[in-house]
Chains A and B, each alone.
Chain A
Amino acid sequence: MKRRVVLVDDHELVRVGVRSALGDRVEVVGEAADVPSAIAVIAATQPEVVLLDVHLPGGDAPAVLAGLPDTSARFLALSVSDAADDVIAVIRAGARGYVTKAISGPELVDAIERIALGDAVFSPRLAGFVLDAFAKAPPEAPDPELDQLTTREREVLRLLARGYAYKEISTRLSISVKTVESHASAVLRKLQLSNRRELSRWAEGRRLG
């Protein structure tokens, strides 16, 4: 069965491009170009996955997530913006992944499938951001569970940053794909819930990816 998807991007050309890159492998049930119409379209169509541009008229991507507290839709940020603070903001608002618009059609379809199943999607860039943000152990870790990455998580992230797919990572680390997925989800959770002050300070200090 094809995944039901909503596209949110203020540039029509980008929506057309993404639509054609997706082809008929997913079902695009709606499109929106700004925050209010995105909230309306997502509420009306109840898609499985929303492809969400980071910068939108009428508030940025986090405003869409904030406007839909009860939706079952899952969000994948898709953006040309490589600014770390934008990316971290949309992930912390609840998006399950981040990919750049340089992604190929098949890779995007794969990412949508993964998001629909509740997994996390890390582009190499997002993996790099996380490694950078969690690079140093915080001087005082209020919650070590949330504020530090495990060695295994770090290994997974490094392979993601090098451009490997989950399947290749599972082969290289001799663990199952399921385990790779759960590591990725754990990292996403830490990224969303950690109160590390370094995280926001790091994102502010790094305007360019």
Chain B
Amino acid sequence: MLADAPSPYWQMPRLEPRARWLAGVASAIAREVGVDALVLRLAFVCLALSGGVGLAVYAGAWLAFTFYERSHPGRAYAPVAKGRTPTRRLVGVAAVVLGLFALANDALSLGVHDAALWPVGVAAFGMLLAWSSGKVDWAAPFELVRAVGGLVLVAGGVIAFIALNVGAAAAPKALLVGTVVLSGVVLVVAPWVWRAASQVSQARLERARADERAELAAHLHDSVLQTLSSIQRSAGDRSATLKLARQQERELRQWLFGKKPAGASDLRSALARVGAEVEEQFGVPIEIVVVGDAPLDERLEAALAAAREAMINASQHSGAARIDVYAELDEDSFELFVRDTGRGFDPRAVPPDRHGVSGSIVQRLARAGGRATISSQPDSGTEVALSLPRRVS
């Protein structure tokens, strides 16, 4: 996912190198909360001066937040979001929590002994550990250990906190009361939370569907609707209409069934592209059937260029309603046939200076180490056969 893509989840604030005084913590929080960064900076300074709590919070936040790095120092500023490692993030968050608590303890005189603070830290750390395991996948033992370990730490922290503040004797009772209250709250709140969560995911699903529909509509508008209106305008011109319809059909087919991006360099798609170009130019449908496939090399490209010439000849001169192209490729050889059932010609009657057939088909194949045969009879069509060994012996 892109760093700046809006996400339905809350994300760690980001430290941006451009907008910072020190490490950018204040401006990152400011961006997230919507407060002026200057106010936060002053607050940090005051807190740092009064007992160092501000420093702890600042350092913790710096550890926890996502930071940016320049991807290419030489080029334009293009930051790449880099997450901290989970452990550093946890330590950072724990430091922030602990610092804030220490602050509240001092400021509001909550009366918690300083010795009782470390269980709170342990509990907070356990909580983060449990949360950070993300989705609890029971199949992944490490995640399970993390979740359970986190819960154990939380429980231990809470018990230690009670024992240190209330006294060891009262601890079991306090724990019981706490558990009962907590269970009550969970029972009341859980269905509501669950419903809210399912509504959120429902909304997300609907938005994804709407996006998909919008993309489909946009594509149909740009392609099919445009073509249909062009066809209406040129309805009198039969060949123009046919050409537009074929072109659109091919494009839509590619979009619906195709996987390969345009410009793929294997034989199958290259041949389809050549056929489409010739078909567009002359308006005679070309049916292409390919068996086997391989990446293009220099010699296959030569054969492809010869095939293109044969398709053009058939389109221009045969008068056939359709041209069949069949290509077969395996490790040893490549064969390609361009066939029409048009008017044909007498090969012996072609003057030797006719460049088309001899130069661009026969000689081209010969240079690549292959052979081209042209067989034709008046009134029974023409077939150009190209054959090319794959390995030069």
Contacts and interface: CB of A to CB of B under 8 A. Distances in A.
- A pairs with B: yes
Interface of A: 80-83, 100, 102, 104, 124-125, 127-128, 131-132, 135, 158, 161-164, 207-209
A132 B291 contact: yes
Contacts of B383: 162
B44 interface: no
B285 interface: yes
Contacts of B339: 162-164
B9 interface: no
A161 B327 CA distance: 9
B181 interface: no
B330 interface: yes
A80 B256 CA distance: 12
Interface stretch (B21-29, B156-164, B225-233, B318-326): B318-326
B363 interface: no
B326 A128 contact: yes
Q: What size tier do the contact residues of chain B reach?
A: 20 to 34
Nearest to B285: A102
B257 A132 contact: no
B291 A163 contact: no
B321 A162 contact: no
B314 to A, nearest CB: 11
A127 B289 CA distance: 9
A209 B326 CA distance: 12
Interface string B145-178: 0000000000000000000000000000000000
B244 to A, nearest CB: 16
Contacts of B248: none
A102 B259 contact: no
B287 interface: yes
Interface in B308-341: 321-322, 324, 326, 328, 330, 337, 339, 341
Contacts of A100: 287
Given A102-B285, A162-B337, A124 B326 contact: yes
A149 B321 CA distance: 32
A132 B322 contact: no
B55 interface: no
Contact of B292 (A80, A135, A158, A163): A135
B290 interface: yes
Given A127-B289, A135-B291, A163 B341 contact: yes
A135 B259 CA distance: 22
A163 B291 CA distance: 14
B348 to A, nearest CB: 21
B290 A128 contact: yes
Interface of B: 249, 253-254, 257-260, 285, 287, 289-292, 321-322, 324, 326, 328, 330, 337, 339, 341, 383
Contacts of B289: 124-125, 127-128, 161, 209
B257 A208 contact: yes
Nearest to A125: B289
Contacts of B337: 162
A125 to B, nearest CB: 5
Contacts of A127: 289
B272 to A, nearest CB: 9
Contact of A104 (B259, B260, B322): B322
22 contacts: A83-B257, A102-B322, A124-B287, A125-B289, A128-B289, A128-B290, A131-B291, A132-B291, A135-B291, A135-B330, A158-B326, A161-B289, A161-B291, A161-B326, A161-B328, A162-B383, A163-B326, A163-B339, A164-B339, A207-B258, A208-B253, A208-B260
A207 B253 contact: no
Given A102-B322, A125-B287, A208-B260, 8 more contacts: A100-B287, A132-B290, A135-B291, A158-B328, A162-B326, A163-B287, A207-B259, A208-B258
A-B interface, 7 closest residue pairs, ranked by CB to CB distance from nearest: A163-B324, A128-B289, A162-B326, A161-B326, A162-B337, A131-B291, A132-B291
B184 to A, nearest CB: 54
A104 B291 contact: no
A102 B322 CA distance: 9
Contacts of A82: 253, 257
Contacts of A162: 324, 326, 337, 339, 383
Interface centre among B254, B258, B285, B337 (most CB of A within 10 A): B337
Contacts of B321: 104
A100 B287 CA distance: 10
Interface centre among B253, B257, B258, B337 (most CB of A within 10 A): B257
A208 B292 contact: no
A131 to B, nearest CB: 5
A160 to B, nearest CB: 9
